[in-house]
Structure formats: C-alpha cells, structure tokens
Amino acid sequence: MAEILRYVNTASTAGGDGTTNGTAGATRAYATLAEAEANEQAAFSGDYLKILCDGSTNDTVVSFNGSTFASAADYIQVEANTGNEALKTGIDASRYQITGADTATIDVLDDNIRFVNLQITPSGSGWGIGLNTLSASNDIRVSGCYFTFITSMSTARGILNSTEDVDDMIIENCVFFDLYDGILVGAGSYLFYNNDVFDCTSDGIEFDLGSTYTIKNSNFGNNGTDIDSAGTATAVQYNCADDDLDTIFSESTNQQPLSSSWGNEKTAVTTGDFTAIAGGNIEGNGVGPSTDSTVPTTDIDGTTRSGTTCDIGCDEIAGAASGGDFPAWLKNKSVKFHYTRR
C-alpha cells in the first residue's frame, strides 16, 4: 500500500498543489481542507491519502464527497500535523482547528475516511462530523479528536448521524465537551472506547432506533443524560459515569467518580482539562488491549496502553517506568532510602 501525502496550512494561499507544507510557490500547501478535498479525489489502486493539517483556524467547512478512495485499503486520513495535535487540556487556538457555522463543520459522504488528532469546533446548531449518504459498506474512524463548540452554542453536536447505516464506526481517545449532544447517532454499529464526554446539555450520547453499540473505558460527567438509548447495547463496561450504568445496563464493571467528585479523577473537567489524576476510580479500572483487541494501544498523547487493564478515558496515567507520573501506591507512601558508604 502506497501513501499519497498532501498538506493543508492555513498560512498558505489557494492555488498550490499541496505536495509540501510550504506557503509559497506552486507546491505550497492547500489553504483549507476543502481545497484539499476538491483536488485530491482520485485514488490509485491500493493507495491511501493522508492529509496533514497545519496552522490555526480553518473556518471553511468541508464535504468529503466523490472520492474514489473506496475500500478499507483505499481510504482518506485527515490528521493534525506534528505540533498541531488536539490536546487533552483543551482547545489551543495556535494549533490547527476546523470550525463551522450552523451546518456541518465536516460532512462525510465518502465511505472510507479517518480523522486523527484534530480540534473540531462546531457552533450554533451545527455539528462537528456529520454522516450522509454512505453506501452499504463503509469504514469511518475518529481518533484522538477534541470536540467542543466555539461560539453561540444552541444545539451544537460533536458527531451526528440520524439516517445512515454505519459499519462498526470506531470512536476512540476523543473528548466531547460543552456541547448540546456529544454524539447523536441512528442506524449502524458503533464502537466507543476510551473517550471523555462532559458538560453536554442534553445527552452525552444518544443512540436512536436501529443502532447497536459497545461502550468501554469511557467517562461521562455533568451531562443531561450520560447515555440515552433507544438502540441495542452489545456491551457497556468498564466506564466511569455520574449515572449508575451498572443498574441501567445490568453490569458490574462500571465505576462512579471517587467520592462523587470528578476532581478526584480529572484535573479540571469544568474548564475542559481531561488530564487523568492518579489514585481515583478511573485508574486501572478499564479493560486492557490484551483482553479486548479494540482498546487503542496508545492514548490521546501517544502514551502506551498494554496488558489486561488500563485507565478509563482518553488519558493514560504514565507510570514511572515510562518516565511519567509515579504510580499511586508510591505517591501515597513515605519512602526511606538507605545507602552504604564504600
């Protein structure tokens, strides 16, 4: 499989061919994601298109429609370039973000597309990613993205699919914060792993008729309703939520925040910082990738997940062995060191 690499840079101007990340000359980056989509619809057999996004605010909405990247092997991947990745701590206005008005920020009519590490900021009654007119076979993935409204939120949603039949759509390592609904989806099958869904006025996730879904290793807090379902749950396990998910879904593996306070679990959920805190109920209570192969093997930052357990949410608490935070058992101990003079 060959990679076709193109660039978007909001510091560029229209008319380049997108083959470099420069901002001058014929090979300069595309100025918007919409320009890239319009010029890069043709695939060669076995190739996939990667579009790396750079700069700051991209306020031109985009509709992915008409591409010949038409199989699981021939797909489009829209990804934040290095240094522009979405952060667990909130929106960074100096990094690339795509924002929209009272419509879709990103509309998806092509069947095989992936969104990675993007800041996606709908406004008004719009939505971040909308799914429309998909074929019977499709492969849609969203990984490491941060969704929140930017201005004038009325019914802004992170991901919207009210009509399409989606095949095992994967949503992982994402944040849905301060929206009307984090996700509103209908017909299709959804895999929702290691996400944080907070401060959604209506529902964290609403599954309408015709949907089937699996939710694991995800946090739900301060939403109108954490999970509003008219669909069919395959599994709702190893999550942490305000609502009693064990009772609702006849389970025994879900958690509620330690001492009923998200301040024991995350740095500042009210301001959109979802950095995980050691010692709470989210630490080590998720299922790991060696037990469930759908669990992402890295978190939103790229920290490794491995073994039979992991932390709940987009952020994995790094252990001392990986150069990150000290483990909870050590932080809570008084440790004495002894040495012998030689």
**151: CATH:** 2.160.20
Give the residues across from 2 on adjacent strands: 47
Q: What is the pLDDT of residues 77-135, one digit of tens each?
A: 999 999 999 999 999 999 999 998 777 899 999 999 999 999 999 988 999 999 988 88
| Residue from 10, 38, 173, 14 nearest 96 by CA | 10
| Phi, psi (deg, nearest 5) at residue 275 | -65, 130
Positions in the chain whose pLDDT score sits under 50: 320-342
* Assigned domain for 336 exists: no
Residue 168 within any structural domain of the chain: yes
Query: Domain total for the chain?
Result: 1
**240 assigned to some structural domain:** yes
Structure tokens at 156: 């802004």
- Report pLDDT for 181: 96
Asked if 128 and 310 touch (Cβ cutoff 8 Å), the reply is: no
Which pairing describes strands 127-131 and 2-9: parallel, antiparallel, or unpaired?
Answer: unpaired
Structural domain includes residue 338: no
Strand order of the sheet with strand 232-237?
2-9, 47-54, 76-80, 112-116, 139-143, 166-172, 188-193, 211-216, 232-237
Q: What is the domain extent for residue 148?
A: 2-331
Contact 139, 112 (CB under 8 A): yes
Rounded-to-integer distance, Cα 59 and Cα 100, Å: 6
> Tell me, what's the pLDDT at 183?
97
